[in-house]
Structure 1
């Protein structure tokens, strides 16, 4: 419970985002949930969290620049976010869950995650991890793990 109010997600601009259990606080003066908004965690982690794209209520994806130089991308692939457009019952509701889709380190090495969405329950299952690649250096994915569901 934050702000003395216990409530559910309403898909309005009153909703607030969390990252790894920490509430996000807007830090650059752009409206909360708007594309271009920058956030920090309520308990400072020295990460820069930016919202991108999207229309209406909430962003399409987030990019987190961690203090150690790693970059985490959440919801940058269609399978790494749950949004209303994926569910026929709610075609106008924006993304409301963003899963980790990529991790990049300072050298440009990446780890990509792929998911199977559970539209009925609004969640994800990791189905694959691809790693040991460096797109900037022309190194293709050298290893892949697939999970059977």
Structure 2
């Protein structure tokens, strides 16, 4: 059976003692108004129609762990979107690193060596034509909808 791994955000509103987190006035409003579970529920509903299992996995340390060598270090996440491992010098998008670590937390049967992330979204690129003074879209990558 095919599986999709998603991070389990069930305890996001609680601290390690199970008490409600206090993020201040505006922070609490944002946190408690956020429908973090909605995406996972919709994904589970749609996946079930196609016979796919959605497995919610614990996200602990997935953004701190190097997906290549396994070193756990919070300072490896250099910037919001950049992950640089101080041990093996792997450099990659921080979200891709976390996603690979989440995927590794689900047992696969049979084990697969396919670690592709499929066709990732790519930013739209527009070229400026000096003669016409217009921007024209340029296709990127091999991904086709």
* TM-score above 0.5, yes or no: no
TM-score, normalising length: structure 1: 0.24
Relative contact order (C-alpha < 8 Å, sep 6+): which is higher? Answer: 2
Greater helix percent: which structure? 2
TM-score, normalising length: structure 2: 0.24
Q: Could you say which structure has the larger radius of gyration?
A: 2
